[in-house]
Amino acid sequence: MKYLLLSSLLFLSSCETHKGNIISEKLAIAQLNKFFEQIDVDSFADINWSEIVTQDFRVFEAGKEMDLEGFIKFATPSADLLETNWTISDPVVTLDTNTAHISYFNDGFFRHGNQEVKIKWMESVFMVLEDDSLKLKFLNSNLLERDVINIIEEPS
């Protein structure tokens, strides 16, 4: 009996608990929203990418595989882009100690001069803890719908 008690105590004392950041569904979704806030036309130039994505960040979108440099070129707003907005819906979050995965729908709105573009994607993002912060490592984006509306201004 002493041996069993001693063995049990030794076993329990050798088990470690995770003392780093605790990843939650709320944190994962907040980081995803932060990513889209940062690529907004109004804040794109002020991005500190190392706070949002890992060093080996990858994106699969528009039939292209991109690293961070390629994604920045792809996502840089055109001169006529006036407004951007993204709405995340139906997120499904899976968590473990050091990672988070979210699949979701993304409705994007873009206003270019006299055009409004509405796009719906089905996306998936994988995040990891890096430098004690949850960061995007991989983003996959699949186009579902795209509508372009030409805005006709009434003469004054």
d(CA 52, CA 77): 19
CB atoms within 10 A of CB 50: 14
Q: Are 103 and 123 in contact (CB under 8 A)?
A: yes
3-state secondary structure of 47: coil
CB within 8 A of 56, min separation 6: which ones?
67, 137
Does the global pTM surpass 0.85? no
pLDDT at 1: 53
Distance CA 93, CA 7 (A): 38
Q: Which parts of 15-67 fold into alpha helices (H)?
A: 25-38
Write out pLDDT tens, residues 16-72.
Answer: 444 455 899 999 999 999 999 888 888 887 678 889 999 999 999 989 999 999 998
Q: What domains are defined for the chain?
A: 22-150 (3.10.450.50)
When pLDDT is averaged across residues 98-117 and rounded to a whole number, the result is 95
What are 74-83's pLDDT values in tens digits? 988 888 899 9
pLDDT in the model for residue 43: 80
pLDDT digits (tens, 9 = 90+) for 85-104: 999 999 999 999 999 999 99
Closest alpha carbon to 32 in 146, 142, 139, 129? 139
